[in-house]
Amino acid sequence: MKINEIFKSIQGESTYMGIPTLFIRVSGCNLRCSYCDTKYAYNEGKEVPVDELLKIANSYNMKYVCITGGEPLLQKDTPELIEKLLDKGYKVILETSGNQDIGMVKDGAIIVMDIKCPSSGESKKNNWLNIDKLKSNAQVKFVIGNREDYEWAKNIINKCRLTEKANVLMSVVYEKLAPKELIEWILEDNLNVRFQPQLHKLIWSRNVRGK
């Protein structure tokens, strides 16, 4: 597998926010979101065999492993890595753009799937077939850049009955929309979603890698 970086930190997003986690960042992405904060993962990386990744994970002695990117599901060996980590007793979180088929991921992994809003520039690449493949432990994330994104996301949530299928998360595009503004919209609409800050960016600079 082509791996961009491996590091330990706290989980900065999802319902697992704040939990010490080992991150395996996979190289490569087929999307170019306007707000991407990991452009360095588009191409940078080195080849690491799955079995070597398992040895590295074991050396960190951590309970949670987050496989992120880039887009992890572009690499054919990602499902195998997930399965082997699960077999060894790790709690595995997969962060995915929602563009690739999540049906290849073994039950037991916690999928955190983006649904790309219009301001991302990639909303036409959402794979809507993935909605029916969400497991009960899945989480769906909307990154909101403006009011149009919010209204669009609200429509998708209602149309697809997302809150019945997964934990629904909303965050803001960093330094583009004030968290307070999004929170007020959520409260006004009594929207059954979880607001999430990007906790790692509140603790460290947005440009710090490996955190």
Task: Compute the distance between CA of residue 205 and CA of residue 25 in angstroms, rounded to an integer.
Answer: 18
Distances (CA, A) of 141 to 14, 71, 171, 209: 8, 15, 8, 22
Range of the domain at 106: 2-203
89 occurs within a structural domain: yes
16 occurs within a structural domain: yes
211 occurs within a structural domain: no
pLDDT at residue 28, as a whole number: 97
Number of domains into which the chain is organized:
1
Residues 162-211 have pLDDT tens digits of 999 999 999 999 889 999 999 999 999 999 999 998 787 777 766 666 65
9 occurs within a structural domain: yes
pLDDT at residue 208, as a whole number: 62
65 occurs within a structural domain: yes
Tell me the pTM: 0.92
pLDDT at residue 175, as a whole number: 85
Task: Check which CATH number belongs to the domain holding 62 and give it.
Answer: 3.20.20.70
Residues 15-58 have pLDDT tens digits of 999 999 999 999 999 999 999 989 999 999 999 999 999 999 99
Residues 104-151 have pLDDT tens digits of 999 999 999 999 999 999 999 999 999 999 998 999 999 999 999 999
Average pLDDT over the chain, rounded to an integer = 95
52 occurs within a structural domain: yes
Task: Compute the distance between CA of residue 162 and CA of residue 152 in angstroms, rounded to an integer.
Answer: 13
